[in-house]
Structure 1
Amino acid sequence: MQQEVEAVLFDVDDTLCRYRRSGAELLDASFERTGVEPFITVEEYHDRYPEFVDSSDSMVDLRERCFAAIADEKGYDPATGREIAQIYADERDHGNVEPLPGVDRALSALSEWPLGVVTNGAPSMQRRKLEALGLAESFDVVVHAGYDAPAKPSPEPFEAALSTLDVRPERTVHVGNSLGSDVAGARAAGVGSVWVPDTDEPAEPEPDYTVSSLSDLPSLLGVE
């Protein structure tokens, strides 16, 4: 690694952990419970969700507005979209998550470093995940982007974490799976980016570093 790193920030979803039940499974269950022919895919939901991010709303409210809009655009009653979103929320258990490979090794190796989380997600939802993983006390700061600050890729949540940790952006890296949120946001804040890919698509924007799993992070940072 070319730069000397003193602190590390992490994304949560699909970086530290993933749900044991996928979003696609939850959507299938939601449509099955209502008896409505499926008209929303999980890819469509993920693509459209950022349009509805508002710090004044809960995750449930955001999803309801998103599903209602998709329903309306496809000729369905928006109330049906809201009902699907409500059942989706009922089906989802935010504590039912599993750590991704290498999480324990990486955090153990970096336990003496200033560590933070910058995550797009509601505070209650993300806290539940960290608690379920046994990581609630592993970080010196947790910034809930979209709530404590604008959502990633805005530089503001990264800057909030840097301020709390009292570290310089050029001495910090952010680790995440999303090119559009994590890599682009880190770059906007002047923070180095470490990409943990969950796609075979070309890397754009290009991250500073790429690791196949968090198991490789300690060696990348020169910590064994």
Structure 2
Amino acid sequence: MQTHQVIFFDAADTLFHIRGSVAEIYQHYAVQHGFKQTPNSLLAIKQAFSRAFKDAPPAIFATTEPTALKQSERLWWFDIVHNVFYRVGMFEGFDEFFEEVFEVFADPATWTLYPETEHVLGTLKARGMELGIISNFDSRLFPVLRGLGIERYFDTVTISSLSQAAKPAPKIFQLALEKHAVDPEEAVHVGDSLREDVEGAAKAGLTSVLIDRSPAEAAPGIHRISSLDQLLPLLARL
């Protein structure tokens, strides 16, 4: 008898990834608007983003009205990116740069699927599994999913900016479970973040799976895979 009824996935760096790197994209567009590039700029931008995310509040908002939500998301990201370039070098054309680069990450061409993603999703659907996404991505995720051609595989998409909760908080997992009318023990969550995905899902009562594509040793007590292909035999053992 099949124990797990729903498989949830994180989105970015689990199902798909950026072409190049985030720092490269920001630097590329910043230079076009007046940023003074140095040999250390890429590393500085990457480090500044890490610090800016740690300093920022979660991307959760009081509104779910589409226009107000998109404005809130944009302002949240404006503060993050402004924080980054305040540290690495502000430039006169920053506002125009931000408007352009913000839309870049809503463009499916900026992202690419992992080679095994569609095969795994298609196999799970063919087996009668319900599939969902639980992500701290904002509403730009929807055009990305459509553009990458994988929106059709998912019964639900739960994102932090619409849920007033962000991973690793249990609330966002609970909201996703409610959409499928299942209990936590009937669901699996797969993601690339030890804190947000593995620990967050486990605290909410779901079976958690870490996808880590680096050649790392298995961690005790954690279901770890290095490719989504390995999820299928893992589910058979769980």
Asked whether the two chains share a fold, i.e. TM above 0.5, the reply is: yes
Structure 2 unaligned runs (5+)?
62-68
Partner of 2:66: none
Aligned equivalent of 2:48 = 44
> For 1:173, what is the secondary structure of its paired residue?
strand
**Equivalent residue for 1:94?**
107
- 2:117 corresponds to 1:118: no
- Letter matched to residue 48 of structure 1: A
Distance between the aligned counterparts of 2:48 and 2:213, measured in 1?
Answer: 17
Q: Give % identity.
A: 26
- Does 2:121 align with 1:107? yes
Counterpart-to-counterpart distance in 1, 2:227 and 2:51: 25
Structure 1 residues 84 and 16, CA gap change in structure 2 (3 angstroms):
same
State the one-letter code of the partner of 2:152: E
Q: Following TM superposition, by how much is the alpha carbon of 1:178 offset from its aligned partner in structure 2, in angstroms?
A: 1.1
TM-score, scaled to structure 2: 0.78
* 1:148 is the counterpart of 2:163: yes
Work out whether residues 45 and 85 of structure 2, in 8 Å CA contact, stay in contact via their aligned partners in 1.
no
Structure 2 counterpart of 1:19, which letter? I
Which one has a larger percent helix, Structure 1 or Structure 2?
Answer: 2
> Contact 1:8 / 1:115 at 8 angstroms: preserved in 2?
yes
RMSD: 2.9
- Aligned-partner SS, 1:37: coil
- Note the C-alpha offset of 1:66: 1.2
The aligned residue for residue 20 of structure 1 is 19
Alpha-carbon distance in structure 2 between the residues aligned to 1:81 and 1:4: 52
Superposed displacement of residue 220, structure 1: 0.8
Matched to 2:98, the amino acid is A
1:109 Cα deviation (Å)?
A: 1.9
Tell me how far 1:8 sits from its aligned partner: 0.7
Residues 35 and 89, structure 2, Cα contact 8 Å, conserved in 1? no
Structure 1: how far apart are the matches of 2:157 and 2:232? 21
Secondary structure of 2:151's partner?
A: coil
Q: Which amino acid aligns with 2:133?
A: V
Are residues 1:162 and 2:161 paired?
no
Does the alignment pair 1:175 with 2:175?
A: no
